[in-house]
């Protein structure tokens, strides 16, 4: 894939040159609106036939796009509604576990998905919009989006998750002034700076390793006893000379003037609770995007995840779900993609008067 260089005015008033593959979210938001065709804006309470679909898939991450490809192959008129094309994976600089692609950025991988779904553009409409409300109607469902209303006979919820906030003083104030939630997007801004990353998961370790290619020093600050990453990433972490892990430690406050200058820890590190930092990345997990599921009366587990059976059925007839938003245990792109495929099949069966629901 040919890398393009983009010059953007960055946070600190500096000009930075980026490699496109590494600049997932920013470029995605600003330069890659995907709109194959869009339903006309409607203020009426009824949707017209142009805006009437067999299936409305909510979420244009990997799970939603996979569901759309299968839905098209089942010959169903499909709309995929998404506010951020590609979903979470586009913020990942390195994907090495998606079969068929040895190593590429999440952004580039989702561009491959885009080419694939565009091949079905006679059946699939990608709508660049936020789905604000959804309700059951006599003939199916109505989705109110930021671009007007659409109706569908079945719904697939593939709404994924959003990043958790640390919720400490200074976090809001210094967001985009040294506090970031995406190393893939922002690492180049921290060249030769000392930075911290809060978190102890595989994602946090991966983000820390990427940061270490730019920053002079990276502290991985984790509240637990031991960071937990895939063995291959743990090996890389051990080998990285400028990455240091601090365990059993919390960040209590973020301080600075115009930009972040330091954080306050809950226990001393090298004799001090005050830790000078030129940047702080937060990678502490995700919150389930279940607002629409709640509106439809879809059953959720104690974590707020959508409860699905093995065929991606929810408890509500005509509503299916796939990917990170569900209560399935192992959340990866490939598992979401597989679930999207199953959800499309179950929706197809449902529309044909059969059910894939597991018998109790
Ligand atoms: C740092 C990091 C590294 C990772 N690395 C890997 C990896 O190497 N390999 C791997 O397989 N997985 C990896 N993952 C996990 C992977 O990103 C997720 O499992 C995958 O993105 C889930 O896809 P999804 O489509 O279910 O959800 P998401 O990717 O979260 O997509 C959901 C989409 O729905 C949209 N949406 C939500 N609500 C609405 C609404 N109301 N209206 C319109 N749109 C809406 C969201 O904006 C989003 O675009 C990583 C995750 C992180 C955080």
Question: Could you write out the DSSP letters of every residue in 45-110?
Answer: SSPPGGGEEEEEEE--BHHHHHHHHHHHHTT--EEEEESSTBGGGGG-S-B--BTTBSSB-HHHHH
CATH number of the domain enclosing 242: 3.50.50.60
Asked if residue 147 and residue 30 are part of one domain, the reply reads yes
Asked if residue 261 and residue 152 are part of one domain, the reply reads no
Tell me if 24 is assigned to some domain.
Answer: yes
Asked if residue 297 and residue 278 are part of one domain, the reply reads no
pLDDT at residue 47, as a whole number: 55
Percent of the chain whose pLDDT exceeds 90: 78
Rounded-to-integer distance, Cα 89 and Cα 91, Å:
5
Q: On the CB side of 10, how many CA atoms lie within 13 Å of its CA?
A: 18
Asked if residue 291 and residue 241 are part of one domain, the reply reads no
Q: Does 94 have pLDDT greater than 80? A: yes
* Residue 173: how many other CB atoms lie within 10 Å: 12
What mean pLDDT is predicted for residues 256-264?
97
Q: Which of 284, 313, 340 is the last residue of a domain?
A: 284
58, 92, 181, 322, best to mutate for ligand 1 pocket (most atoms within 8 Å of CB) = 92
Structural domain count of the chain = 2
pLDDT at residue 210, as a whole number: 94
pLDDT tier at 358 (50, 70, 90 boundaries)? confident
Q: What is the mean pLDDT of the chain?
A: 87
pLDDT at residue 98, as a whole number: 95
Which residues have any ligand 1 atom within 6 Å of their CB? 58-64, 81-84, 87-89, 92, 95, 97-98, 130-131, 158-161, 203, 206-207, 289, 292, 323-324, 331-334, 336
Q: Which residues pair with 300 in a beta bridge?
A: 306
pTM for the full model?
0.80
65, 333, 338, 339, best to mutate for ligand 1 pocket (most atoms within 8 Å of CB) = 333
How does pLDDT run across 168-210, given as a tens digit for each residue? 999 999 998 999 988 877 898 899 999 999 999 998 999 999 9
Tell me if 7 is assigned to some domain.
Answer: no
Tell me if 337 is assigned to some domain.
Answer: yes
* SS3 assignment, position 152: strand
Range of the domain at 148: 15-162+287-351
Asked if residue 304 and residue 345 are part of one domain, the reply reads yes
Indicate which atom in ligand 1 lies nearest the CA of residue 88.
29
Burial of 241 (0-12, 13-18, 19+ CB in 10 A): exposed
For 285, the token pair is: 């997990």
What mean pLDDT is predicted for residues 32-43?
38
Q: Does 117 have pLDDT greater than 70? A: yes
Asked if residue 156 and residue 44 are part of one domain, the reply reads yes
For 314, the token pair is: 């929810």
* Residue 292: how many other CB atoms lie within 10 Å: 22
Q: Which residues pair with 275 in a beta bridge?
A: 263
């Amino acid at each position: 894939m040919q890398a393009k260089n983009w010059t953007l005015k960055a946070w600190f008033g500096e000009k930075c040159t980026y490699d496109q593959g590494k600049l997932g979210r920013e470029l995605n938001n600003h330069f890659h609106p995907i709109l194959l065709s869009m339903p006309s804006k409607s203020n009426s309470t009824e949707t017209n036939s142009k805006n009437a679909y067999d299936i409305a898939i909510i979420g244009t991450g990997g799970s939603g796009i996979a569901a759309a490809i299968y839905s098209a192959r089942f010959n169903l008129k499909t709309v995929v509604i998404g506010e951020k094309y590609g979903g979470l994976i586009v913020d990942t600089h390195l994907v090495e576990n998606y079969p068929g692609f040895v190593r590429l950025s999440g952004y580039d991988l989702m561009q491959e998905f885009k080419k694939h779904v565009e091949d079905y553009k006679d059946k699939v409409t990608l709508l660049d919009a936020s789905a604000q409300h959804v309700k059951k109607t006599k003939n199916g469902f109505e989705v109110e989006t930021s671009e007007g209303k659409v109706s569908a006979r079945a719904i697939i919820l593939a709404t994924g998750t959003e990043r958790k906030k640390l919720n400490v003083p200074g976090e809001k104030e210094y967001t985009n002034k040294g506090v970031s939630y995406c190393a893939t997007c922002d690492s180049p801004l921290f060249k030769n700076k000392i930075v911290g990353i809060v978190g102890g998961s595989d994602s946090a370790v991966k983000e820390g390793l990427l940061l270490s290619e730019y920053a002079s020093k990276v502290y991985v600050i984790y509240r637990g006893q031991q960071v937990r990453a895939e063995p291959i990433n743990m090996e890389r972490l051990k080998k990285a000379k400028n990455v240091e892990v601090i365990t059993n430690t919390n960040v209590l406050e973020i301080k600075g003037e115009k930009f972040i200058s330091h954080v306050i820890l809950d226990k001393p590190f090298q004799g001090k609770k005050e830790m000078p930092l030129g940047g702080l990345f937060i990678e502490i997990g995700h919150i389930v995007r279940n607002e629409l599921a709640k509106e439809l009366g879809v059953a959720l587990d104690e974590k707020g995840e959508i409860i699905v059976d093995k065929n991606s059925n929810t408890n509500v007839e005509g509503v299916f779900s796939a990917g990170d938003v569900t209560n399935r245990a192992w959340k990866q792109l490939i598992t979401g993609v597989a679930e999207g495929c199953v959800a499309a099949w179950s929706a197809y069966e449902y529309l044909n008067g059969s059910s894939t629901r597991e018998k109790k």
